[in-house]
């Protein structure tokens, strides 16, 4: 029952570590702390009552990876989060993204092959679909040319995983996340955006707390009911639970394919203004926002069909948009308290 979680001190990884511990797995985190803090491990322990093993290592460093796998010879499953994720930065520095996201994945797969570890869950993204005509988007929808080098690393990793499944005993589930938001109910773990956030949810909470002057809604002239873009916002705890279901699915060995993909969203689209209003409702804070121009590269609307994950993995999102905003707000206030202290 040992599971190795790369990127386990990061935003989605830390919530996933907790869910695996609560499901009875022993967790080993590997993270280089480039985009996370070491005290996340203490916070995980506070939530679950169990301290995960934690190894600081970079997936690009083969020697470091060899040491980790030697230290824990009985790893049975791997969940792979570690990657860079900033779309804009990937356009400026594509090589950095290809090297880390693809190079790191290849090094990890070499370790799995060597140690005969066969169960692997990969963090993919709805970005592989681009702009789609038929909604909700199913896993059958063909992926398009990636809109950024970041998106391309997800596409390429999915393809290389498929090839490796064909060539070996590897069994892979790629989870295509829609828009992860929110934080753990304890407010002990959550998202830690570096610098000015690009994503909507942290921008909302930072504006509400006073870290940002105002939020700009990127366009209200889209062909949607209120003119703003539509996305599928999924609570990070619901998302974390999907990883446990995916590993259990691989463990149960009743899968027919060695490589499969699943959409992980709520199945419901919400506009930018709906997200803002949900936040205002649960926080009681009137948000200072203005309407700006469209943001380059934004798709008009996308939301998931999650029927495949429900039917095959037995997973379904349970939390509402209000709950997402409530937990994101509690986390932002917690961060503010910590800074003041
Ligand atoms: P995050 O940055 O919070 O977590 C990633 C973690 O990986 C960080 O702790 C970082 O220090 C670590 N890391 C990065 N490169 C590493 C390396 N070479 N070696 C070891 N550790 C390394 O990001 P997140 O939001 O938790 O995203 C996790 C995964 O989910 C990523 O693969 C991301 O692309 C994917 N994803 C995220 C979103 C999103 O909106 N957050 C959406 C779709 C997919
Ligand atoms: C959501 C909506 C913005 C900020 C990105 C990545 C994607 C995936 C998830 C990893 C859009 C609007 C935002 C703001 C706004 N990540 N917005 N004002 O663009 O759907 O997806 O994160 O795989 O790959 O591209 O998420 O949170 O940036 O934007 O109006 O200040 O909020 O225009 O309509 P996005 P987002």
Neighbours of 33 (CB within 10 A): 14
Q: Which of 119, 127, 185 is nearest to 331 (CA)?
A: 185
Instruction: Examine the pLDDT at 256 and tell me if it is beyond 90.
Output: no
Is position 280 within any domain? no
pLDDT tens-digit readout, 204-238: 999 999 999 999 999 999 999 999 999 999 999 99
Is position 228 within any domain? no
Looking at residues 154-179, what average pLDDT do you find?
98
| Tokens coding 220 | 């209200």
Is position 310 within any domain? no
Q: Which atom of ligand 1 is nearest to the CA of 9?
A: 9
Give me the long-range contacts of 143-149 (CB less than 8 A, separation at least 24): 147/297, 148/87, 148/88, 148/90, 148/91, 148/297, 149/90, 149/91, 149/94, 149/97, 149/98
Residue 144: per-residue pLDDT: 85
Residue 4: per-residue pLDDT: 99
Instruction: Examine the pLDDT at 340 and tell me if it is beyond 70.
Output: no
pLDDT tens-digit readout, 24-56: 999 999 999 999 999 999 999 999 999 999 999
- Ligand number nearest CA of 84 is 1
Residue 326 and residue 305: Cα distance in Å, rounded?
25
| Mutate-to-test residue for ligand 1 from 9, 11, 125, highest number of ligand atoms within 8 A of CB | 11
Is position 49 within any domain? yes
Instruction: Examine the pLDDT at 253 and tell me if it is beyond 90.
Output: no
pLDDT tens-digit readout, 86-120: 999 999 999 999 999 999 999 999 999 999 999 99
Confidence of residue 312 (pLDDT cuts 50, 70, 90): very high
Pairing mode, strands 230-231 and 270-271: antiparallel
Residue 255: per-residue pLDDT: 79
Q: Which residues contact 181 (CB under 8 A, 6 or more apart)?
A: 200, 201, 233, 234, 235, 236, 324, 325, 328
| Tokens coding 79 | 């969940």
Task: For residue 101, report the distance from its CA to the centre of ligand 1, in Å.
Answer: 9
Residue 136 and residue 305: Cα distance in Å, rounded?
5
pLDDT tens-digit readout, 59-91: 999 999 999 999 999 999 999 999 999 999 999
Task: For residue 96, report the distance from its CA to the centre of ligand 1, in Å.
Answer: 14
Distances (CA, A) of 96 to 89, 92, 123, 193: 9, 9, 18, 19
Give the H/E segment covering residue 31. strand 26-31
Query: What percent of the chain clears pLDDT 70, i.e. is strictly above it?
Result: 99
Residue 335: per-residue pLDDT: 94
Q: Which atom of ligand 1 is nearest to the CA of 179?
A: 40
Is position 274 within any domain? no
For residue 60, the 8-state DSSP code is T
How high does pLDDT run on average in the chain? 97
Closest CA to ligand 2's atom 32:
200
The CATH number given to whatever domain includes residue 137 is 3.40.50.720
Looking at residues 149-173, what average pLDDT do you find?
97
Task: For residue 4, report the distance from its CA to the centre of ligand 2, in Å.
Answer: 29
Residue 96 and residue 119: Cα distance in Å, rounded?
27
Task: For residue 9, report the distance from its CA to the centre of ligand 2, in Å.
Answer: 22
Is position 47 within any domain? yes
Is position 109 within any domain? yes
Residue 96 lies in domain: 2-182+233-265
What's the domain count of the chain? 1
Task: For residue 11, report the distance from its CA to the centre of ligand 1, in Å.
Answer: 7
Instruction: Let me know: does 12 contact 240? Beta carbons within 8 Å.
Output: yes
Q: Which atom of ligand 2 is nearest to the CA of 177?
A: 23
- Ligand number nearest CA of 55 is 1
- Three-state secondary structure call for residue 243: helix
* Catalytic site positions: 150
Instruction: Let me know: does 74 contact 28? Beta carbons within 8 Å.
Output: no
Helix segments in the chain, DSSP class H: 11-22, 40-48, 62-71, 87-92, 94-97, 104-115, 149-167, 200-209, 236-252, 272-283, 307-308, 321-340
Closest CA to ligand 2's atom 33:
218
Residue 52 and residue 42: Cα distance in Å, rounded?
9
- Ligand number nearest CA of 193 is 1
Is position 195 within any domain? no
Query: What percent of the chain clears pLDDT 90, i.e. is strictly above it?
Result: 94
Instruction: Examine the pLDDT at 254 and tell me if it is beyond 80.
Output: no
Instruction: Examine the pLDDT at 339 and tell me if it is beyond 90.
Output: no
């Amino acid at each position: 029952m040992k599971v190795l979680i790369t990127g386990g001190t990061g935003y989605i990884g830390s919530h996933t570590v907790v869910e695996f511990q609560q499901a009875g797995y022993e967790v080993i985190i590997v993270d280089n702390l480039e985009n996370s803090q070491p005290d996340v491990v203490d916070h995980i322990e506070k939530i679950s009552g169990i301290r995960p093993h934690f190894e600081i290592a970079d997936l690009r460093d083969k020697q470091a990876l060899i040491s980790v796998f030697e230290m824990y010879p009985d790893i049975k499953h791997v969940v792979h989060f570690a990657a860079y994720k900033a779309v804009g930065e990937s356009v400026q520095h594509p090589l950095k993204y290809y090297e880390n996201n693809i190079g790191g994945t290849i090094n990890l797969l070499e370790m799995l092959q060597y140690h005969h570890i066969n169960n692997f869950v990969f963090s993919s993204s709805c970005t592989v679909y681009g702009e789609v005509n038929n909604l909700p988007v199913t896993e059958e929808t063909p992926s398009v040319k990636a809109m950024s080098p970041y998106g391309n690393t997800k596409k390429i990793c999915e393809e290389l995983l498929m090839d490796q499944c064909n060539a070996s005993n590897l069994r892979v589930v790629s989870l295509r996340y829609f828009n992860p938001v929110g934080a753990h109910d304890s407010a002990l773990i959550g998202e830690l955006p570096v610098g000015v956030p690009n994503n909507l949810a942290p921008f909302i909470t930072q504006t509400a707390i006073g870290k940002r002057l105002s939020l700009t809604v990127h366009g209200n002239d889209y062909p949607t009911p209120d003119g703003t873009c539509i996305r599928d916002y999924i609570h990070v705890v619901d998302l974390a639970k999907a990883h446990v279901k995916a590993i259990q699915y691989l463990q149960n060995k009743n899968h027919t394919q060695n490589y499969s993909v699943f959409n992980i969203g709520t199945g419901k689209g919400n506009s930018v203004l709906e997200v803002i209003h949900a936040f205002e409702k649960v926080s009681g804070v009137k948000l200072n926002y203005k309407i700006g121009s469209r943001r380059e590269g934004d798709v008009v609307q996308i939301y998931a069909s999650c029927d495949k994950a429900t039917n095959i993995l037995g997973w379904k999102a349970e939390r509402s948009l209000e709950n997402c905003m409530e937990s994101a707000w509690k986390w932002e206030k917690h961060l503010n308290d910590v800074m003041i202290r």
